Structure 1
Amino acid sequence: MRFHSDEATAVRRGHLVPEQLEDWVPSACAAVAEHLRHRGIAPTGYPYARWHPLPGGEIEAEAGFPVGTPIAGSGDVEPSSLPAGPVLAVWHTDPDEKIPLSYHAVQDWLETGAAVATGDSWEVYHDLPTCDHVGTRIEIVQPITFPTP
């Protein structure tokens, strides 16, 4: 557990089915990186992706980079943010197909009752994504709150 500070981000958004996420994230991060480069804006951290389930099995996804100050929306790249507050962070360093096990570890910890999830988790890619791969050092970050006794 740790405290996460509020972070302004630059992202690309999309409505997808979960199976598209693996291919979409690297291309979205590449598009945001190119957008920032053309404007002389340096990311302040590693790329990330966050998504929210929608009815009908779709997800609303965003992928991009943290930035020092909020950006103006332009074309396919929009401003967003990651919330401040306590988070549970779990490292995933196995092959991609085993990432569900890391999410199960987060869920198992939450089921102990020590904390409650507050919003959607996100993945931070500590290996810079290529156009076809997000890497193997992935940090899963889940915002949490602590129940009052």
Structure 2
Amino acid sequence: MSYHFEVSQEPAQPVLSIRTRSRVDDLPALFSKAYETIFQHLHKIGEKPAGIPFGAYYNMDMDNLDIEIGVPVSKQLSGKGDIQASEIPASHQVSYLYKGPYKDSASVYEAMQKWTMENAYSPTGVVYEFYYNSPLEVPESELLTKIVFLLE
């Protein structure tokens, strides 16, 4: 399959997020609970999301993922409890808009990893996924996920 990867420079983006560890099999329930908690907090403080919900993966250990689940916001906001004020750092990045089931995205990851090496980029190891829709809204074949590798 042929992929068209986009390289860009992005500014820092404030977020509210929950960082935790999880097995890959537990992610659907974890994401659902985290987003519900964050959106309830935003509603309570009279704020709205300023972008697409995301998951940031700080490792790829499928039995012990270090993950941040969050929502971009328009300005630095206070967190509460497990919700922390954080940011997606300003970065040079490569991305791809993937359409299809989450479980079938491994080929995109492999192609991006190969492409970055062939084009003399060095990924930081942090990967973001931005979720444009949800399996609760559309069939798996219609899921849209922007996969982003941060670059050094």
TM-score range (shorter-chain normalised) is 0.7 to 0.9
Matches within 5 A, 1:122-137: 122-128=128-134, 130=136, 136-137=143-144
| Stretch deviating more after TM superposition (55-64 or 106-115) | 55-64
The structure 1 residue matched to 2:147, chosen from 132, 140, 145, is 140
Q: CA deviation at 1:20?
A: 1.8
Q: Structure 1: any 5+ residue segments left out of the alignment?
A: none
TM-score of the pair, normalised by structure 2: 0.83
| Cα distance change, pair 20–106 in 1 and its aligned pair in 2 (3 A) | same
TM superposition score normalised by structure 1? 0.84
Structure 1 position 27 matched with structure 2 position 33? yes
Residue 5 (1) aligns with residue 26 (2): no
State how 1:35-114 maps to structure 2 within 5 Å.
Answer: 35-53=41-59, 57-114=63-120
Query: 1:21: how far off?
Result: 2.0
State the alpha-carbon separation in 1 of the partners of residues 63 and 17 from structure 2.
22
Q: RMSD value over aligned CA atoms?
A: 2.5
Q: Distance in 2 between matches of 1:84 and 1:14?
A: 22
2:66 alignment partner, SS class: strand
Q: Distance in 2 between matches of 1:129 and 1:39?
A: 28
Paired amino acid for 1:144: L
CA gap of 1:63–1:130, structure 2 versus 1, over 3 A, is farther
Q: Post-superposition shift, 1:113? A: 4.0
| Moved beyond 3 Å, runs of 4+ | 54-57, 128-131
Unaligned regions of 5+ residues in structure 2, if any? 1-6
Distance 1:94 1:72 in 2: 35
Moved more, 87-96 or 25-34: 25-34
